[in-house]
Amino acid sequence: MSGDLRRHAPAAARNRGPILAVLRDWLPAEGLVLEVASGSGEHAVHFAAALPGLVFQPSDPDPSALASIDAWAAGMANIRPAVRLDAAAAEWAVGAVDAVVCINMIHIAPWAAAEGLVRGAAARLAAGAPLVLYGPYRVGGAHTAPSNAAFDAALRARDPAWGVRELEAVSALAAAEGFGPPELREMPANNLMLRFRRG
Ligand SMILES: C[S@@+](CC[C@H](N)C(=O)[O-])C[C@H]1O[C@@H](n2cnc3c(N)ncnc32)[C@H](O)[C@@H]1O
């Protein structure tokens, strides 16, 4: 018996339009884009359909996510089969890429995942190439909205290693791996998009 493997993430359906609008500005017109933590795969499919000059390489550590991504991407020429990738791992099954995108991961994983993401992106991007992040951030030591403070508390109650990250800490991590300071876009629901460029 074979069921429909496609998962649905309601947040992805809500935020994919605003994220795509920024990616149109921030990603190169052509090349290979590694998405880390693709989840259901709905983002990769939406972005690949709208940005036909790019090829997307989705990834996730969760096997059921990989099955969902591949089910959503069936028949699309510019999405590669999803690969298993834990950002915190020393080895990634992906070589050089032209951009790295990661949406809503670093606050729902231990800090080691953020460290690995930045380290792995730095090792695969040429000078000037972007690492693009999306999610909630604390800025200047404070939450940007009460809803983000409540979300942070809920994350930490679920796993003390999780939590909304400090923009300055992520920027320092990126700087230590050779990225420049981030460009910022304010997004709906008190999220931010960050673009770090490899120095
Ligand atoms: C909240 S979901 C976001 C999924 C998708 N990016 C989206 O916005 O719909 C978090 C994702 O991060 C993935 N994840 C958790 N830890 C990770 C790690 N260490 N490396 C890469 N992905 C990770 C999970 O498997 C999950 O798919």
Residue 45's CB: how many other CB atoms inside 10 A? 23
The whole-number pLDDT of residue 3 equals 85
Question: What is the helix (H) or strand (E) element at residue 102, kind and residue range?
Answer: strand 99-103
Residue nearest ligand 1's atom 1 by CA: 104
**Whose CA is closest to atom 9 on ligand 1?**
12
Q: What is the pLDDT of residues 110-168, one digit of tens each?
A: 999 999 999 999 999 999 999 999 999 999 999 999 999 999 999 999 999 999 999 99
1 — pLDDT class (breaks 50, 70, 90): very low
pTM for the full model? 0.98
Q: Is the pLDDT of residue 186 over 60?
A: yes
| Phi, psi dihedral angles at 132 (to 5 degrees) | -115, 125
| Mutational test site, ligand 1, from 85, 105, 111, max ligand atoms within 8 Å of CB | 105
Q: What percent of the chain has pLDDT over 90?
A: 98
pLDDT, position 2 = 59
Q: Give distance in angstroms: CA of 39 to centre of ligand 1.
A: 5
Q: What share of the chain is helix, strand, coil (3-state, %, to 5)?
A: 40, 25, 40
Q: Could you give the CA distance from residue 151 to residue 164 in angstroms, rounded to a whole number? A: 8
